[in-house]
Amino acid sequence: MTQRADDVPRRVTAGFAAGSLGTGGFGVLPGLVMAYYLTDTLAVSALLASAVVVIPKLVDVVVNPLIGGRNDAAFARTGSRTRLMWLGTVAIVPLFIATFCAPTGAPPLVGAAWVLLFFTAAAVAYACFQVPYIALPTDLTGDYHARTRLISARIAVLASAILILGAGATAVRDALGGGATGYAVMAAVAVTVIAAGMAAATAIAGTAARRSPQAVGTPHRDDHRAAFVALRTHRHYRILLSVFVIQALASAVMLAGAQYLAAYVLDDPGALTGLFAALVGPALLVMPLWVRVGRRIGKRRGLYAASAVFLAADIVLTAAVVAPGAWVFAVVAMTGIGYAGMQTFPLAMLPDVIDEHTRRTGHDRGGALSGLWTAGETLGMAVGPGVYLLVLAGSGFVSSSADDVVDQPSSALIGITAGFSLLPAVLVAASMLLLLTRYDRKDSP
């Protein structure tokens, strides 16, 4: 049976949290560097690059719910979700490295096709791990507040992973001068950390989440459609997923824009490390605060408060278009405080929604619902860079090769800054409106 909150050992909590080395690395690093790799190393146009980063995640929208349905069926037979998790852990290593080994001497179209092929395959391998991983909290504990604590531990590791892999991996790339060698070594170093975290989560938390087959019911032939049925009929799941995807899109737009803001607005490509640390670092300090906020006012209100902090900071950042300077780092740190809560509360609310769905239908479809959830998240994370690239294309951005920083027209500088600040602000405001008007005010048992 599902363990009670106080029965979750620290070792299991640590193992579950370790999985964020994988989700943080794969979820953030491509979003941070993929667009820049395509436009400024492979000389791919911004418009074509936007398609390359979006298409693999469109595939995820179809594949992830299928993976979730298959995982539910395996869980019903064996009481374990680990088989697919191991498959994804092993397969992601060569595929992720190959993604950043595109032939730089080939025409841009060849480089774009290469990245599209291997990044799509890597995304499917990652989904084999991520879908069952997101379903684990439902199986590890049934306690409302304990799920927030469990997710907060994961988000703390996620922040560390983003800092280590986002700042560290790009530092490796830059130390080797960028280009083909820099990106290949960066990918090899990053995927080593990613796979290690995935393996730890599978071996420790995945095993601890075993339940008797009777607890999850009998698999059905239409399991792969269960998430889409829930999306249509279960309002809490639909609204929560929509809010999470919109906010993932907003975060991804900022991550994609950070490199461009550093290189062309702040006039210092190396400032990416500082921007990235300012965005993600506060999560390590404020996670206990968000846990207390959730306990005091509930998860839904906590999510609204975190979103408000993120929105306010983004509005201030729009001033960078006329007055760029060191103050940008401090305001980006404010967005990081909001970002930590925006990551924690939806993931802590998802197990509650899965339980609600199980009570209503009589069937545990945690894997299927988590599959569509991860598809939405990865789609948002991929569409973010694509949308940002469309902003660049519309503002007259000039692509280049060999990581050259070229002079940009003033319209492109406006596009770079507005895409980094104003666009995420609009998206988060829309998600807040949806959360406020459509999700029930009562958010605790």
Q: Which of 51, 178, 201, 33 is nearest to 126 (CA)?
A: 201
Number of domains in the chain: 1
Angstrom distance (rounded) from CA 241 to CA 438: 12
Angstrom distance (rounded) from CA 261 to CA 254: 10
For residue 202, tell me if it sits in a domain.
yes
391 against 54, higher pLDDT: 391
Q: Quick one: what percent of the chain has pLDDT higher than 90?
A: 26
Residue 2's pLDDT band (cuts 50, 70, 90): very low
For residue 4, tell me if it sits in a domain.
no
Q: What is the pLDDT of residues 244-302, one digit of tens each?
A: 999 999 988 988 888 888 888 888 877 877 887 888 778 778 878 888 888 888 889 99
Angstrom distance (rounded) from CA 346 to CA 245: 10
Q: What residue type is assigned to position 397 of the chain?
A: F
Which of 193-197, 281-285, 340-344, 362-366 has the least mean pLDDT? 362-366
Per-residue pLDDT at 221 exceeds 80: no
Angstrom distance (rounded) from CA 193 to CA 66: 27
Are 47 and 395 a contacting pair, CB within 8 Å?
Answer: no
pLDDT reported for residue 246: 95
Per-residue pLDDT at 398 exceeds 80: no
| C-alpha dihedral (303, 309, 310, 312), degrees to nearest 10 | 140
pLDDT reported for residue 275: 85
For residue 6, tell me if it sits in a domain.
no
pLDDT reported for residue 429: 96
Per-residue pLDDT at 239 exceeds 80: yes
Residue 212's pLDDT band (cuts 50, 70, 90): very low
Best mean pLDDT range from 202-216, 238-252, 368-382: 238-252
pLDDT reported for residue 401: 60
pLDDT reported for residue 210: 57
Angstrom distance (rounded) from CA 441 to CA 445: 12
Residue 436's pLDDT band (cuts 50, 70, 90): confident
Q: What is the pLDDT of residues 325-337, one digit of tens each?
A: 889 999 999 999 9
For residue 252, tell me if it sits in a domain.
yes
pLDDT reported for residue 217: 45
| DSSP states of 126-180 | HHHHHHHHHHHHHHH---HHHHHHHHHHHHHHHHHHIIIIIIIHHHHHHHTTSHH
Per-residue pLDDT at 223 exceeds 70: no
Angstrom distance (rounded) from CA 364 to CA 215: 8
**319 CB-contact burial (10 Å; exposed 0-12 / middle 13-18 / buried 19+):** middle
Q: What residue type is assigned to position 204 of the chain?
A: I
pLDDT reported for residue 404: 58
The DSSP element (H or E) to which 416 belongs, if any, is helix 410-438
Are 148 and 294 a contacting pair, CB within 8 Å?
Answer: yes
For residue 2, tell me if it sits in a domain.
no
Are 136 and 267 a contacting pair, CB within 8 Å?
Answer: no
Its pTM stands at 0.72
| CA separation, residue 343 to residues 62, 73, 229, 384 (Å) | 24, 28, 25, 16
For residue 30, tell me if it sits in a domain.
yes
19 φ, ψ (degrees, to nearest 5): -60, -20
pLDDT reported for residue 194: 94
Angstrom distance (rounded) from CA 117 to CA 119: 6
Per-residue pLDDT at 222 exceeds 50: no
Which of 63-67, 70-74, 118-122, 207-211 has the least mean pLDDT? 207-211
**326 CB-contact burial (10 Å; exposed 0-12 / middle 13-18 / buried 19+):** exposed
Read off the CATH number of the domain in which 113 is found: 1.20.1250.20
Alpha-helical runs (H) found in 362-398 = 366-394
pLDDT reported for residue 442: 55
Angstrom distance (rounded) from CA 166 to CA 277: 9
Q: What is the pLDDT of residues 52-82, one digit of tens each?
A: 888 887 888 788 888 888 877 777 777 777 8
Angstrom distance (rounded) from CA 258 to CA 273: 9
For residue 445, tell me if it sits in a domain.
no
Containing structural domain, residue 50 = 11-438
A 10 A CB-CB count for 104 gives 15
pLDDT reported for residue 7: 61
Angstrom distance (rounded) from CA 119 to CA 124: 9
Q: What is the pLDDT of residues 12-22, one digit of tens each?
A: 888 888 998 88
Best mean pLDDT range from 207-211, 260-264, 306-310: 306-310
Q: Which of 341, 282, 251 is nearest to 31 (CA)?
A: 251
Mean pLDDT of 361-376: 77
Per-residue pLDDT at 118 exceeds 90: yes
Length of the chain: 445
Question: What are the residues whose beta carbons fall under 8 Å from the beta carbon of 403, sequence distance 6 or more?
Answer: 40, 41, 178, 179
221 against 196, higher pLDDT: 196
| DSSP states of 181-198 | HHHHHHHHHHHHHHHHHH
Per-residue pLDDT at 216 exceeds 50: no
Average pLDDT, the chain: 83
Our measurement of the distance from residue 221's CA atom to the centroid of its chain's CA atoms, rounded to an integer in Å, reads 30
For residue 332, tell me if it sits in a domain.
yes
β-partners of residue 42 are 401
